[in-house]
Every structure is written in C-alpha cells, then in structure tokens.
A and B are shown apart, each in its own frame.
Chain A
Amino acid sequence: MGLDFYTGKLADAVNWARKFSLFSYPFVTACCGMEYMSVAAPKYDIARFGAEFPRFSPRQADLLIIVGTITERQGPALRRIYEQMCEPKWVVAFGVCASTGGFYQNYSTMPGADQIVPVDVYIPGCPPRPEMVIDGIMQLQDKIARAKHPILTKTF
C-alpha cells in the first residue's frame, strides 16, 4: 500500500519536471519556420512553458518539432533524427503539412510526418497562429503529466 502511494507521487513529480523542461529540436523545412521563430521569440515566448531551449542536436533533445512540409526525399533524414533522440521523446507536428500533407497530394510530398514517426500532438493551420502552437505545447504538457513511462512503473 505504501509502495503504491510513493510510486504515484514519484510519477507526478517526474512528469511535472519533464513537462516544464522540454528541450526541443526544430526540424524546420518550410514557411512554417517563420511562425516557429515568432513563437520562440519574446512576443509569444514559449520559454514560459519550459520549452525555450532549442537544441541543434537530436541527441540532446526530447521534443521533435516538425515544422513544415516533409517530402519523400526527406523521409530517411527525419526518421534518422527521430531514432537518434533518447527516450523519453515526444513529437509535435507543426502546421497542416507536417500533420497531413496539407494541400499537397502528389509524388513528392509525404501525407503527414506520422507516416514515418509517431506524432503526439498535431497543430493544424497554414501556418498555425502562435496561440495555437502554445495551446499544442500545453496539450503536450498535459499528456506528459498523465504519462506512465516504464521507467516509473516497472520494477528493474
């Protein structure tokens, strides 16, 4: 009984720490990048949500933000970057192209980055308003807060 009580609280504490220290890796391929800059800059300031620290190495990041259209030819690079990130890791599809392919339906465009990497939060919009991105980050934080990661629940 006591053990249940303590693991529950430990999960909450770890998840609380995780959700406010998202180190993001922006995979910026297209025009949504401008909107990403706006979100990251002081006016909208995702630093308020603990996600202020873009790392330009996937090995140091735990949040992959896929910003913009993904082409078939970029697929191997994106998949490799996702695989280089350490657990725990989350993925946000920023904008409608990264979510579904957007208005493209042709030989060159991947119909959504979730065809090759698992996506946690989809932010629609062409491009999304900064408020939508912040809402997406907050939803991701809620998801992290509810997480039952093996490192917390498994007995090693």
Chain B
Amino acid sequence: MSAATVLESLQQQIVPAAGAATLSHDSCLVFQLAPDELVRTVRRLKEEFGYDLFLDVTAVDWPADALRFEVVHHFASSRQPLRVRLKTRVAPADPSVDSLVKLYGSAAFMERECHDMYGIVFRGNHDLRPILLYEGFAGHPLRKDYPKTREQPLVPYRH
C-alpha cells in the first residue's frame, strides 16, 4: 500500500470513531482521542492496519489547561510508510489511561518511564515501579511544577 492509500483508509475508518486527524510532516497521522477510545483504536491499528511496532509513550504537561496532561503514543508499521500518533488528554485529578501491555509487551517499560516522569497511571500495567528514578523519589520531575533545582540525593552530600 502506498502512503496515500494508507492515509485514506485510516482516515475513513478511524477518523469517524476517533475524532479529528491531521497529517504531520507528510509522514505521521495525528489523532486526538478520548481516553476511553484509546485501546479500541490501538487494537484496530494493530489488527487491521498492521501497526506492529509500538514506538513510545510520553506525555506533555499543559499547566494552564483543565485537561492538563496530554498522553502521546507513537506507532509504526513494518509494512506501511506512515506513522501514527495518538493524543489523549487527561485531568490532573485522575491522570490515568488504559495500559497497552496486553497488545504490546514493550509497553510495560515505556509506561513505567512515563509514570516516573509525569505520574500518568496506566490502568492494567501492574508493575509501575520506578525504572529511571529510584524508590523514595518524591514527585514527577518532568511536570512543569517540579522545581528545576530540586535534587533528591541517594547519598547524603558532604557539603
């Protein structure tokens, strides 16, 4: 399938269910989703469109917005020349989305990192221990309200 064909079929089949879509840099289709549509959309991407590679999950902190955190998933396909980006907004009171562990095993570690850095809770990922941070680290350092000079040393400083 060419990029144009993939784009067309994705837009026709996913867009009505998932909301607005835009094409970024001629190579990445961007969807804005509601959190409860996430797993259903990802399953369709994987099973019907051949998106077999889960690239990354990260988040964006928009401190002024009511739906403060934007959780961003990236997918690629080994068969199609078009990437897919899914954006989901969640509120700071309950910053949780469904986990993709059941669809992609690699999601386990990437969701742990996102949980470290932004405090996003992935429902269904039962191992959200710190992966890049350490036990006892308070807060989430990539949130905008984390003071940029705040350090939490594991060994007490000498001076």
Contact = CB atoms under 8 A, between A and B. Distances in A.
Interface in B142-159: 146, 148-159
A8 interface: no
A76 B148 contact: no
A115 B158 CA distance: 5
A114 B153 CA distance: 13
B141 interface: yes
Contacts of A107: 141, 146, 148, 150-152
B155 A79 contact: yes
A105 B141 CA distance: 12
B154 A76 contact: yes
Given A73-B134, A115-B159, A108 B141 contact: yes
Contacts of A118: 158
Nearest to B139: A107
A115 to B, nearest CB: 4
Contacts of A79: 155
Contacts of B152: 72, 107
Contacts of B134: 72-73
